[in-house]
Amino acid sequence: MYPDLDIAEDTRERMIAWRRDIHANPETAFEEHRTANVVAQSLALMGLPVHRGLAGTGVVATLKHGEGPSIALRADLDALNMQELGRRLHTSKCFGKMHACGHDGHTAMLLGAAEHLARHKPFQGTVYFVFQPAEENEGGGRVMVEAGLFEQFPADAVYGMHNFPGIARGRFAIRAGTMTAYLDTFEIRITGKGSHGAMPETGIDPVMVSAQLVNALQSIVSRRTAATESAVVSVTQIHGGDTWNVIPEQVVLRGTVRTLDAAVQDQTQAAMGQICAGIGQAHGAKIELDYRRGYPGVVNTAQETAAAVAAATSLVGPEQVDTDIKPAMGSEDFAFMLLKRPGAYIAIGAGETDDDPPVHNPYYDFNDAILPLGAAYWVALVKQQLPLR
């Protein structure tokens, strides 16, 4: 069993209470009003000045102790639009909404660290506790940055953390450089010429064109992307047609692209444009590609990654810290903060068995056993980066 270190037993119990209360009352992107109230009131009771309103429901608290450098610690507030199927005392009370990614636990761990740091002040400098809305799909991190996060709270570096059920409890994992994928989405609108289903020669069939297009898009990964690089092109929606005997006028495809490098991202977008143009010309159809850049990749800076590794190692030892985890093809809007400040994003293990439900699963529940270790990581990082002099 790992030590709780700087996190007192009474803080552990409050973290569990915070976490389960937030879990039972999930709120989705930019609607985290109750959650923000819980966070803001808890921080105020710790004696911290609290700023509210960045990105609507964002909360930032400041803890200053003497003169020195500053760091920002970030947790996410929002839940997902999905129905919880697990049964427990703190199961979601909100139909169709669920904390299926552990943001409830992330928030509780950062609150626990804030309480300890405010009580003991084992550092010199300034800590900003950033509670961000709308991580899932809506880019709350980008909105906070655009609203002046780092102008109002000028941290020298920013750090994030996420639970990973696929990594054993008591372990950490991180890598310098790209940690998560660049996330893009696309919509392709194929316009042909509608006709009777029994007389396809009188029209231009966008359904047939869409079938060829879906197959052709896969050639980007298999034949245009180097084997040493990574890309995913997934068509996830096909919409077209209303009845059995009518070839429709239009078909719409939607999907996602994931890459681990900005250059590969550019190449993939360009290749999609070429393929759409070529197939459209070959069949006399009009094909319009709407390619939307989403979250950039989380790219950890070297110095801050080393700092995160040192803090984690001080808690669990070097054998429990993986410093070269494979990049994940999932995405994270913490990336927008890393575009403005150096920083690092670390994974904290939450797994107990090989069969633990993954995040975004209707049976998932954050592992309360890691709350003390997560809070202790934040405390260790602050003490290390803002040492008393």
CATH number at residue 212: 3.30.70.360
Domain final residue pick, 235, 264, 293: 293
- Within the chain, how many helices (H) and strands (E) appear? 10, 16
Total residues found in the chain within this entry: 389
Specify if 3 maps to a domain: no
Dist CA 282 CA 164 (whole Å)? 47
- 51 and 156 co-located in one domain: yes
pTM of the model: 0.91
Q: Where are the beta strands (DSSP E) in the chain?
A: 50-52, 59-65, 70-76, 125-132, 157-168, 172-173, 177-178, 182-191, 195-196, 231-240, 246-247, 250-259, 286-293, 299-300, 321-322, 343-351
Query: How many domains does the chain contain in total?
Result: 2
Residue 237: exposed, middle, or buried by beta-carbon count in 10 A (0-12, 13-18, 19+)? exposed
- 45 and 170 co-located in one domain: yes
Domain interval for residue 345: 9-180+297-385
Specify if 1 maps to a domain: no
Domain final residue pick, 293, 312, 346: 293
Q: Could you tell me the maximum CA-CA distance found in the chain, to the nearest angstrom?
A: 84
Return the C-alpha torsion angle 105, 111, 115, 120, nearest 10. 80
Specify if 2 maps to a domain: no
Residue 103 has phi, psi (to 5 degrees) of -65, -25
- 149 and 206 co-located in one domain: no
- 83 and 215 co-located in one domain: no
- 223 and 140 co-located in one domain: no
From first to last of its 389 residues, the chain has per-residue pLDDT tens of: 445 466 767 799 999 999 999 999 999 999 999 999 999 999 999 999 999 999 999 999 999 999 999 999 999 999 999 999 999 999 999 999 999 999 999 999 999 999 999 999 999 999 999 999 999 989 999 999 999 999 999 999 999 999 999 999 999 999 999 999 999 999 999 999 999 999 999 999 999 999 999 999 999 999 999 988 989 999 999 999 999 999 999 999 999 999 999 999 999 999 999 999 999 999 999 999 999 999 999 999 999 999 999 999 999 999 999 999 999 998 999 999 999 999 999 999 999 999 999 999 999 999 999 999 999 999 999 999 999 98
pLDDT for the residue 47: 97
Domain final residue pick, 293, 323, 340: 293
- 329 and 360 co-located in one domain: yes
pLDDT for the residue 6: 63
Dist CA 215 CA 224 (whole Å)? 14
pLDDT for the residue 2: 47
- 269 and 305 co-located in one domain: no
